Amino acid sequence: MRIPRRVSFLCAVCAAAIGFLTACASGPVEIPAGLSAAEIFQRAQDATDRGDYPLGIRYYSTIESSYPDDINHMTWASYEIAFLYHKMGKDEMSLTLVTDLLDKYSKDNGSLPPAPHVLALKLKARLEETPPKTQ
């Protein structure tokens, strides 16, 4: 049995309208106060897994204001933000941020976690291999 062309067209229009309305209804995500550092990181990771890098950056950025004395989470958040800018194709910004992070390591007395340092070195090398994209 063949579906009439008009019915197919109406189904497509309805699906597009529903998609448009749900996209408009979602609006900007408000980051709730009082989240633990682990919850912030989980939500940031969830956002980036969906490809919403700007929201991931917003979540990671709240670490600085919410947990300014948490060196471990602050360092990881700095690395993740630099990496997300790279994923968004904003390599000039990424290079600036990763260089700032590596400067903190050069002045550190051993209190910063080692893993983000290794990853930041690799990211900087990758960014320096090709000319930075500006946006």
Residue 49: which CATH number? 1.25.40.10
* Residue 48 falls inside a structural domain: yes
pLDDT of amino acid 22 = 42
* Residue 124 falls inside a structural domain: yes
* Residue 25 falls inside a structural domain: no
pLDDT over 90 at 13, yes or no: no
Range of the domain at 47: 33-129
pLDDT of amino acid 2 = 54
* Residue 14 falls inside a structural domain: no
Count of structural domains, the chain: 1
* Residue 96 falls inside a structural domain: yes
Cβ 57 vs Cβ 84: under 8 Å: yes
Confidence tier at 8 by pLDDT (50, 70, 90)? very low
| Cα separation of the two ends of the chain | 52
As a whole number, mean pLDDT of residues 4-32 equals 51
pLDDT of amino acid 63 = 95
Cβ 47 vs Cβ 56: under 8 Å: yes
pLDDT of amino acid 134 = 54
* Residue 115 falls inside a structural domain: yes
* Residue 12 falls inside a structural domain: no
User: What residues contact residue 113 under an 8 Å CB cut-off, 6+ apart?
Assistant: 71, 72, 75, 76
* Residue 49 falls inside a structural domain: yes
Quick one: which of 83, 84, 25 has its CA closest to 52?
84
Q: Is the pTM of this model over 0.85?
A: no
pLDDT of amino acid 109 = 85
